[in-house]
Amino acid sequence: MFLSGLIVFSMKRKHLLLMLLSLEFIVLSIYFVLFMYLGIFNNEYFFSMIFLTFSVCEGALGLSLLVSLIRTHGNDYFHSFNLLW
């Protein structure tokens, strides 16, 4: 699941939005593993809350970056991000 998320993340080269979605997918997979891990050890489930908070922050930041990119570039094609070679 994690690996497939990684592969999708790096293979998806058309839309930035799809990249962000696959990032969320990776986050979900890690959340799954984390949940498993926390279930095995001492039931410290509060950390999953923290993790979710961080991932939500990350997703929000990604979306805001998407907005700013669309404002500057006019689209969200990842291929057009080649101004900085």
Partner 1 sequence: MLSLSLILFVWSLYLMIFDMSFFFEFGLVMINSSSVVMTLLVDWMSMLFMSFVLFISCVVIYYSDEYMGGDLNINRFISLVVMFVFSMVLLIISPNLISILLGWDGLGLVSYCLVIYYQNVKSYNAGMLTALSNRIGDVALLMSIAWMLNYGSWSYIFYLEELKGDYYMNIITFLILLAAMTKSAQIPFSSWLPAAMAAPTPVSSLVHSSTLVTAGVYLLIRFNFSFGDSLMYFLLFISSMTMFMSGLGASFEFDLKKIIALSTLSQLGLMMSILALGGYKLAFFHLLVHALFKALLFMCAGNVIHNLFNCQDIRYMGGLVSSMPLTCVYLNICNLSLCGLPFLSGFYSKDLIVEVMSMGYLNIYVYFIFYLSIGLTVCYSFRLVYYTCVGDFNFFSLNVLSERNYVMLKGMSGLILLVIVMGSVLSWLMFFYPYVIILPFYMKVMTLFSILLGVFVGYEMSKFSLSYFNLSMAFYKTSWFLASMWNLPIISTHGINYYPVMMGSLLYKNLDQGWFEYFGAQKAYLSLVKSSKLSQIFFNNNIKLFFILLVMWLMVLMLF
Partner 2 sequence: MKLYKIMFFNMMVMGTIIATSSYSWFSMWMGLEINLLSIIPLMSTQKNSLSSESAIKYFVTQALASLILLMAAIMMMLINEFITPLVNYHFLMIMNSALLTKLGAAPFHFWFPEVMEGLTWLNCMIMLTWQKIAPMTLIMNNSMNPTFSTLIIISCLLTSAMMVFNQISLRKILTFSSINHIAWMISTTMMSSSSWLIYFAVYCLINMNIIMIFKMTNTFYLKQINNIINTNKTIKFSYMMNFLSLGGLPPFIGFLPKWIVINWLVNNNMYTIATTMIILTLIMLYVYMRITFSSMLLNHNEPKIIKLKINKMAINTINFMTLFSLITCTLIFNLL
Q: Which residues of the shown chain bind partner 1 in the complex (CB under 8 A)? A: 3, 6-7, 9-11, 13, 78-79, 81-82, 85
Q: Quick one: what does residue 24 bind among partner 2, partner 1, none, with the CB cut-off 5 to 8 Å set by partner type?
A: none
For residue 82, the minimal CB distance to partner 2 (Å) is 9
Contacts of 44 (CB under 8 A, 6+ apart): 38
Q: Is 12 in the site for partner 2 (CB under 8 A)?
A: no
For residue 46, the minimal CB distance to partner 1 (Å) is 29
- Structure tokens given for 64: 């805001």
Q: Is 50 in the site for partner 2 (CB under 8 A)?
A: yes
Q: Is 42 in the site for partner 2 (CB under 8 A)?
A: no
How far is it, in rounded angstroms, from Cα 14 to Cα 28?
Answer: 22
For residue 36, the minimal CB distance to partner 2 (Å) is 8
Label residues 25-59 b or e (16+ Cβ within 10 Å = b).
bbbebeeeebeeebeeeeeeeeeeeebeeebeeee
